[in-house]
Amino acid sequence: MSLLAVDVGGLTLKNPVLTASGCFGYGLEYDDFYDVAELGGICSKGLSLHPRAGNPPERICETPAGMLNAIGLANVGVEAFCKDKLPILRERGVTVVANIFASSVADFVAITERLNRETGVAAIELNVSCPNVTEGGIEFGKDARMAGEVTRAVRAATELPVWVKMSPEAGNIVAVARACEEAGADAITAINTIRGMSIDVEQSKLRLANRMGGFSGPALRPIALRIVWEIAAAVSIPVIAIGGISTTRDALEFLLAGARAVQVGTANFVDPSAAKRVLDGLREYCESKRIDVKSLIGSAR
Amino acid sequence: MSTRVLAKRRLVTLTLLRRESIGGLYHVLTFEDPDGSVALPGQFTMVRGAEWGDAPLLPRPMSYLSGGNTPSILIKVIGEGTVRMGRAEPGEPFTLLGPLGQPWRAPQPGRRVVLVAGGVGVAPLLFLARRLAQSGAPKPIAVYGGRSARDLPLDDELAELAELHTATEDGSRGTRGRVTDVLGELLAADQDVFTCGPDRMMAKVAELCAARDVPCEASLETPMACGYGVCLGCPVPTTDGAYVYACTQGPCIDARRVDWSRGDHAPKKGVHAPKGKS
């Protein structure tokens, strides 16, 4: 029995190290670096019903120990993903979590139904940090009722495990996580980026064309850890941690706080093999101490 | 050009062999690569101090000035990353991810190569000039401009490899004016232009070339986080209303494909951009 396998809401992952949506392309950009099938899984670039070109530049800027991005959810669309990306990932034995987003519950369901027709999708992760255009453009994830509604609709539309990725912008994130659990979510992913800004003082100009962007990177880690801690105490479904994880030590911090698995995000930009490094370090840690990773989960609580 | 089979990319930790301060804000950093970099002229590398910790977080995109066992880059000290690079001492470890991106295409047979450089944009053009000299190709023309004489790093080396014309805005070296003023005078129909520099300069170079039906290849400059096609932070608008990503579809690209009019992607201070400007 592997020391690293974990069960995430009915889905067994060979290890608890995944890569985060938006920070790992479609998992097909890594052939020069390592075999991504070694990972516990990869979360796809956020998929929409139709392709999206994304925001105009500037889309990114660096901040102290972090960065802001306003990519604008550029992606090939669910159809091209199913046709061009998924077959290769499936062939390679990659555990694929399809991250999806939409501006209405109906579109979330439509994307889910398209994914249902494919084999090789291990789970669906809902990005609820996007505005619900049918309800005045308020983000799904900011409101427990709306987050619950979209979770329930996707839950009813598929037999795949459903993960919901929390928006840290929610006033009461624990209430949102609970609502998603009640609506049938199999796991909670926490956290998405926090909105931030940066101004070029010399040119008196905003650094991002979109004005605001999602803040990520190591600087985010303590906030993510606090939220993971709170959610893990409040729900009985697994919590998958994300937020500034760059090293095995960072991953351990979240596991000890109660996360069942972790996602490596921005660190992939600094080192394409970041997730593999985290995994190798975790394996070494568990093997040298002869402990099952499951025994670490929540052990600091 | 994307059909070219490019060398495998590697992330390697290399030791800084030497840092040459070459006047003004410019330095050449040369690394020791026992395995040898197979970078082609026009390709770039993501460079970061191995001991920087969590800040500055991101690696800096830098055009290769040379490859082989002693790959080098040209930097201009502007932002947090280049400040550190400009102080680095021999023996300091750096991580380099590369070679990345599309190299310069081969010059078209029968055409005279014209290199149009602005400031640190000279790096990938010098690499190209050296390759052309090695292959026994006719000496190219080079047009090199900057704000003042201090902003023409490595001009002496370029003068050895090309028929050099210079332009400075303050007239402290060569023609007083812009590089494009000089290019406008000498550009001829049987030439093949390769350009790297500020966006506004490249836009004008592209315009001059298009008007005279001269092929023009530009090396794009944008901020980048990853350099290998996943962050999607480096879109450049194209004439067909879409974007190309400078890291994988560039940096070297047919200048006619770029929508220079939409170019608010000019490098800004403090935002790191390729060719050594952060």
Report the pLDDT value the prediction gives residue A134, as an integer from 0 to 100: 85
- Is B277 a member of any domain? no
Instruction: Choose the mutation target among B12, B54, B261, B269 for the interface with A, i.e. most A CBs under 10 Å.
Output: B54
Residue that finishes a domain, picked among B56, B71, B100 = B100
Neighbours of B131 (CB within 10 A): 18
- Is B158 a member of any domain? yes
Residue A70 structure tokens: 């306003």
pLDDT digits (tens, 9 = 90+) for A89-123: 999 999 999 999 999 999 999 999 999 999 999 99
CATH (domain of B235) = 3.40.50.80
Residue that finishes a domain, picked among B66, B100, B134 = B100
- Is B21 a member of any domain? yes
B27 sits in which H/E element: strand B26-32
Q: How far apart are CA A261 and CA B184, in angstroms?
A: 60
Q: Is A106 on the interface with B (CB under 8 A)?
A: no
Task: Verify whether the Cβ–Cβ distance A269 to B9 is below 8 Å.
Answer: no
Do B85 and B188 belong to one domain?
no
Residue A180 structure tokens: 């998603």
Domains of chain A, earliest start first: 6-50+72-195+214-296 (3.20.20.70)
pLDDT of A301 above 90: yes
pLDDT of A153 above 90: yes
**In chain A, which among 184-213 make CB contacts under 8 A with chain B?**
200, 202-203, 205, 207, 209
Do B121 and B83 belong to one domain?
no
Task: Verify whether the Cβ–Cβ distance A203 to B269 is below 8 Å.
Answer: yes
Report the pLDDT value the prediction gives residue B263, as an integer from 0 to 100: 57
Do B16 and B124 belong to one domain?
no
Q: What percent of chain A has pLDDT over 70?
A: 100
Q: How far apart are CA A107 and CA A97, in angstroms?
A: 18
DSSP character string of A33-79: T--GGGSSEEEPSPB-SS-B--PPSP-EEEETTEEEE-----B-HHH
Neighbours of A2 (CB within 10 A): 12
Q: How far apart are CA B76 and CA B5, in angstroms?
A: 31
Report the pLDDT value the prediction gives residue B2, as an integer from 0 to 100: 46
pLDDT digits (tens, 9 = 90+) for A241-259: 999 999 999 999 999 999 9
What is the tally of structural domains in chain B?
Answer: 2
Closest residue in A to B227 (Cα–Cα): A269
Q: How far apart are CA B196 and CA B202, in angstroms?
A: 7
> Which residues of A are designated catalytic?
130
Radius of gyration of chain A (CA): 18
Q: Pick the closest to residue A88 from A14, A149, A156, A37 (CA basis).
A: A37
Report the pLDDT value the prediction gives residue A238, as an integer from 0 to 100: 98
Residue environment code for A233-248, b if the CB has 16+ CB neighbours within 10 A, otherwise e = eebebbbbbbbbbbbb
Residue B114 β-bridge partners: B141, B193
pLDDT digits (tens, 9 = 90+) for A55-65: 999 999 999 99
Do B89 and B24 belong to one domain?
yes
- Is B106 a member of any domain? no
Report the pLDDT value the prediction gives residue B53, as an integer from 0 to 100: 96
CATH (domain of B67) = 2.40.30.10
pLDDT digits (tens, 9 = 90+) for B76-99: 999 999 999 999 999 999 999 999
Do B88 and B183 belong to one domain?
no
Q: A58 CB contacts (<8 Å, ≥6 apart)?
A: A207, A208, A209, B222, B223, B264, B265, B268, B271
Report the pLDDT value the prediction gives residue A192, as an integer from 0 to 100: 97
Do B145 and B62 belong to one domain?
no
- Is B133 a member of any domain? yes
Neighbours of A300 (CB within 10 A): 12
Do B159 and B202 belong to one domain?
yes
Q: A33 CB contacts (<8 Å, ≥6 apart)?
A: A272, A273, A276, B9, B11
Q: Is B226 on the interface with A (CB under 8 A)?
A: yes
- Is B5 a member of any domain? no
Residue B23 structure tokens: 């006047």
Q: Give the Å distances, CA to CA, from A68 to A100, A204, A215, B50, B230.
A: 21, 18, 4, 22, 15
Report the pLDDT value the prediction gives residue A131, as an integer from 0 to 100: 87
Residue environment code for A175-197, b if the CB has 16+ CB neighbours within 10 A, otherwise e = bbbbbbbebbbbbbbbbbbbbbe
Q: How far apart are CA B58 and CA B273, in angstroms?
A: 11
Report the pLDDT value the prediction gives residue B272, as an integer from 0 to 100: 43
| Owning domain of residue B36 | 10-100
Report the pLDDT value the prediction gives residue B266, as an integer from 0 to 100: 43
Do B178 and B250 belong to one domain?
yes
pLDDT digits (tens, 9 = 90+) for A118-139: 999 999 999 999 888 888 888 9
Do B130 and B177 belong to one domain?
yes
- Is B269 a member of any domain? no
Q: What percent of chain A has pLDDT over 90?
A: 96
Instruction: Choose the mutation target among A34, A62, A99 for the interface with B, i.e. most B CBs under 10 Å.
Output: A62
pLDDT digits (tens, 9 = 90+) for A154-198: 999 999 999 999 999 999 999 999 999 999 999 999 999 999 999
Report the pLDDT value the prediction gives residue B4, as an integer from 0 to 100: 67
Residue B1 β-bridge partners: none
pLDDT digits (tens, 9 = 90+) for A205-216: 999 999 999 999
Residue A100 structure tokens: 């999806």
Closest residue in A to B79 (Cα–Cα): A62
Closest residue in A to B46 (Cα–Cα): A270
- Is B278 a member of any domain? no
Residue ranges with strand state E in B35-170: 44-49, 60-66, 72-76, 93-100, 112-118, 141-146, 163-168
Band of the pLDDT at A1, cuts 50, 70, 90?
A: low
Do B128 and B241 belong to one domain?
yes
Report the pLDDT value the prediction gives residue A132, as an integer from 0 to 100: 86
Report the pLDDT value the prediction gives residue A136, as an integer from 0 to 100: 85
Could you give the angle at the alpha carbon of B36 between the alpha carbons of B33 and B41, nearest 5°?
110
Do B125 and B242 belong to one domain?
yes
Mean of pLDDT values over A67-74: 96
Do B155 and B186 belong to one domain?
yes
Instruction: Choose the mutation target among A58, A68, A246 for the interface with B, i.e. most B CBs under 10 Å.
Output: A58
With a cut of 50, which residues of chain B have pLDDT below it? 1-2, 265-274, 277-278
